[in-house]
Amino acid sequence: MTEQYRQDFFVSWEELHRDTRLLCKELLATGKTWKGVIAVTRGGLIPAAIVCRELDIRLVDTVCVASYEGAQGKSQGERVRVIKAAAGDGEGMLIVDDLVDTGATAAAIREMLPKALFATVYAKPEGRRLVDHVVREVSQHTWIRFPWDMQLHFAVPLIETMRPPGAAGTP
């Protein structure tokens, strides 16, 4: 974990599904209907699929952007690189992403699609003002570990991590 991120927030598939459904309930409460969803790739693809199912939306587009760099994607670059824009100005569309972090990606998308409504499952303080709906807020110094970025493996008992190398087990 880099200096910028001081804590981890692990999200399971069940939690992501629950939180995205809570986002859907919030969206339904607005009374609005949408022509379609614009998923922000890559993180917004799975929440967008859940939103489409829950709100019975069949038209799906994507805006494909890259803003994170590095081996684990933990360094957010200064620039957002647009790989594929969505058509139009966003009129009647719902943008869905997993997370708004610094707001760099959200600002670029807002500029491209000023008339769309923007919803994310998770938000950090620096980017929160750029989205219309969010379910859960976390601190700016938290790295969210989404289920698609993790794999199951053996967890070493804590006591073993505290023993000096080569030390024998307890009697």
CA–CA–CA angle 2, 148, 17 (5° rounding): 115
Q: Give catalytic residues, as residue numbers.
A: 97-98, 101
Residue 62 φ/ψ, nearest 5 degrees: -135, 150
Q: Edge-to-edge, what's the strand order for the sheet holding 93-100?
A: 75-84, 60-69, 36-41, 93-100, 117-123, 133-137
> What are the helix (H) ranges across the chain?
13-29, 45-55, 104-112, 125-128, 158-162
One-letter amino acid of 138: V
Across the strands, what pairs with 10? 145
| Beta strand 36-41 pairing with 93-100 | parallel
Residue 40 φ/ψ, nearest 5 degrees: -90, 115
